[in-house]
Amino acid sequence: MELLLPKLGLIFWTLIAFGITLWILRKFAWKPILSSLDEREKNISDSILSAENVRKEMSQLKSENEALLAKAREERATMMREAKETRDKIIEDAKEQARLETNKIVADAQSVINQQKMAAITDLKNQVGNLVIEVSEKVLRRELGNKEEQEKYIQQLSQNIELN
């Protein structure tokens, strides 16, 4: 049983060794250990704050990025709508221009046709007038006493004359 119970001298020297070790640790090791622990705690808290700030910034950047994407989509849709409207307007203007050109060409063609028609009618009138004068001249030159012979002669002349 002696092995289980320590003697008073052993306890005394153990306490003195413990006190000296405690005093040496307190004098030389305690401050550096505590300061390094405080510094580590401070670094950890700074890292946590930094990570939290980065997370907040990332969240803010993400929301800004989404807003920019939405704005870009809206602007793209607006540009596409404007481009479509411009395209439709250009097509409509081109159709209207073509319609105006067609109407102008048709009007010019009708004008030319009417002028040529009038020229042809005038030419025909002149030819008929010349024929009438020619026939009248021939009838008058030939003095026939008989009316019946005059009519035969007129019919003969009208059959012989060719129209140009």
pLDDT at 141 (0 to 100): 67
Q: Tokens 């989404």 correspond to what residue?
A: 66
Dist. CA 93–CA 158, nearest whole Å: 60
Indicate if the pLDDT at residue 164 is higher than 60: no
What is the pTM (predicted TM-score) of this model? Answer: 0.41
User: What does the pLDDT look like over 55-88, one tens digit per residue?
Assistant: 999 999 999 999 999 999 999 999 999 999 999 9
Q: Going along the chain, which residue ranges are E strands? A: none
Q: Which residue has the tokens 């008058």?
A: 140
Q: Which residues contact 158 (CB under 8 A, 6 or more apart)?
A: 135
Give the side-chain half-sphere CA count within 13 A for 33.
6
Return the pLDDT at 130.
85
Residue range 116-125: average pLDDT? 92
Q: According to the model, what pLDDT value does residue 143 have? A: 60
Q: How confident is the model over 133-146, as a mean pLDDT? A: 71
Q: What is the rounded distance in angstroms from the CA atom of residue 157 to the CA atom of residue 116? A: 30
145: pLDDT strictly greater than 70: no
For residue 33, what pLDDT band results from cuts at 50, 70 and 90?
confident
